[in-house]
Amino acid sequence: MLDERKLKILAAIVDEYIMTGIPVGSKAISNIPGINVSAATIRNDMAMLEQLGYLEQPHTSAGRIPTFEGYRLYVDKLMPSYPLSEEEKKVLDDFLETDVPTADALIQNASKALAELTHCASVAKNVSPQFSVITKVEVIPTGKRMYVLLMITSSGNIKNKVCRLEFDLTNEQLDFFANYMAENLQGVSIDSLSEDTVEKLVAATGAYMVTLTPLIKGVCELAEGFRDSDIHLSGEKNLLARPDIDHAQLAHFFEHKNEALKMLDGSFSDLQVMFGEDGDFVMKNSSMIMSKIKKGDKTAGALGVIGPMRLDYAKIIPYIEYLTERITALISEDDEI
C-alpha cells in the first residue's frame, strides 16, 4: 500500500512545503532529481496519500499540503538526517557557556539559543523545586523595620522577599528566629509547608509570637513561590512575525503558558513532537518539539521549540538533541547537590 515511492513522494512534499509554505503540486515533485516518474504517476500516488490521511488539499485545484499525520510520519520515518557541522556545534556550545552551570541556567541558555537559531519561540522548563527540601532560611535586616527573607532549597533555587514589620527586631529576636527556622524548617520539604504547619510554627513561638508572625508568614509565601512550575518562553516575538499563526490565539497562549503547557508535567518520552491539532497542545497550525533533560534517572527539566507546523524538523531536532546531550553531560559531571 505505502510502497517506497509513495513515501519518497510524501517526504518530498513535506520538504518542499516546509521550505516554501505553498501547497505543492505534482509537477514540482516530478522535477526533483531522484524521482523519475511522471507527474501523472505522482498524481495517482498523491490521491492515495490523501485518502490515507497524510495529505490534504486546500481546494480542488491547489497542490497538497501535509496533514499532521503526514508530518508525524515524516518526523518518525522519512526525515533526512542532518548531522550537525562542527561550526554549528561550536555555536551551540557557546550558548551553553555559563559561569554557574546549574541545570536551570543551562536549560534557559539553551532555550535562548534555540529561539535565536530557529526564529521560533522556545520553552525552558526547569524542574520544579516543589519536591526538594529547604536548605536554609535567613533573615537579614536591611533598613528601618525592613528585613530580607532568603530561602534556599536543596535543588539550589533561591528566592528572597522583603518584609516590613511594625517594629524593629532586637538582636535577641533575630537570633531566636534564625535558630527557630534552622531547627524547624531545615530539611523540611517545600511541599509539606502547608497552612497547618505554619500555624503550628506560629503557635510555638511563644513570647515572640507577635513580632515574628509576619516573618513566618513571609517564609510561607516564599515556599509557595517555589511550588509554581517554572516555565520560561523565549523568542515570543519570532512567532508574531509569522503570518500563518493566529495572533489572538498566540497572545492567549503566552498569557496562559503555564496551563497551556501543563501537559509537560506528565511523562513524555525523551524527545517528542506534538502537533497543534493532535494531542494536548492546542494551537492551530503549530507544533512543539520537546526534549526531556535527565540527571541520572531523574528529570532535571525540559527544553523545546514552538513554531508553525511547517517547522524545519530535520534541522531543529538535531539542535535540540545536541543541546540536550550536552546539558546532560555537563550536569552529570556535577556531584549531587
Partner DNA sequence: TGTTAGCACTCTGGCGTTAAGAGTGCTAAA
Partner DNA sequence: TTTAGCACTCTTAACGCCAGAGTGCTAACA
Give contact residues for DNA (rule: CB under 7 A): 5, 23-28, 36-41, 43-44, 46-47, 50, 57, 59-64
Q: Specify the stretch interacting with a second copy by CB under 8 A; choose among 75-83, 177-185, 224-232, 244-252.
A: 244-252
CA distance linking residue 138 with residue 151, whole number of Å: 7
Q: Which is nearer to a second copy, 91 or 240 (CB)?
A: 240
* 237: contact with a second copy by CB under 8 A: yes
* 164: contact with a second copy by CB under 8 A: yes
Per DSSP (E only), the strands in the chain are 55-56, 65-66, 121-126, 134-143, 146-153, 158-164, 230-234, 271-275, 286-295, 298-308
Restricting to residues 96-155, which ones interact with a second copy according to CB under 8 A? 99-102, 135-136, 138, 140, 142-144, 146, 148, 150, 152, 154
Reading the block at residue 322, the C-alpha cell is 545536541
* 161: contact with a second copy by CB under 8 A: yes
Strand partners, 286: 308
- How many CB atoms are located within 10 Å of the residue 244 CB? 12
Q: Which of 13, 185, 250, 290 binds a second copy (CB under 8 A)?
A: 250
**Packed helices 171-185 and 209-227: angle between N→C axes, nearest 10 degrees:** 40
SS3 at position 159: strand
* Close Cβ partners of 10 (under 8 Å, ≥ 6 residues apart): 49, 54, 55, 66, 70, 73, 74, 78
* 258: contact with a second copy by CB under 8 A: no
- Of these partners, a second copy, DNA, none, which one is at the site of residue 43 (CB under 5 to 8 Å by kind)? DNA
* Close Cβ partners of 150 (under 8 Å, ≥ 6 residues apart): 136, 137, 138, 139, 140, 158, 159, 160
Spatial contact of 300 and 292, defined as CB atoms under 8 Å apart: no
- For residue 7, the minimal CB distance to DNA (Å) is 14
Q: Which is nearer to DNA, 51 or 269 (CB)?
A: 51
- Of these partners, a second copy, DNA, none, which one is at the site of residue 255 (CB under 5 to 8 Å by kind)? a second copy
Restricting to residues 277-316, which ones interact with a second copy according to CB under 8 A? none
SS3 at position 268: coil
- Of these partners, DNA, a second copy, none, which one is at the site of residue 60 (CB under 5 to 8 Å by kind)? DNA
Restricting to residues 206-225, which ones interact with a second copy according to CB under 8 A? 214
Strand partners, 234: 122
- For residue 325, the minimal CB distance to DNA (Å) is 40
Q: Which is nearer to a second copy, 101 or 225 (CB)?
A: 101
Q: Specify the stretch interacting with a second copy by CB under 8 A; choose among 5-13, 72-80, 252-260, 307-315.
A: 252-260
Q: Which is nearer to a second copy, 142 or 192 (CB)?
A: 142
Nearest C-alpha neighbor of 321 from the set 54, 89, 60: 89
* 232: contact with a second copy by CB under 8 A: no
Q: Which is nearer to DNA, 243 or 266 (CB)?
A: 243
Spatial contact of 193 and 229, defined as CB atoms under 8 Å apart: no
- How many CB atoms are located within 10 Å of the residue 149 CB? 22
Residues of this chain that interact with a second copy (CB under 8 A) are 99-102, 135-136, 138, 140, 142-144, 146, 148, 150, 152, 154, 156, 158, 160-164, 214, 237, 240-241, 247-248, 250-252, 254-255, 335, 337
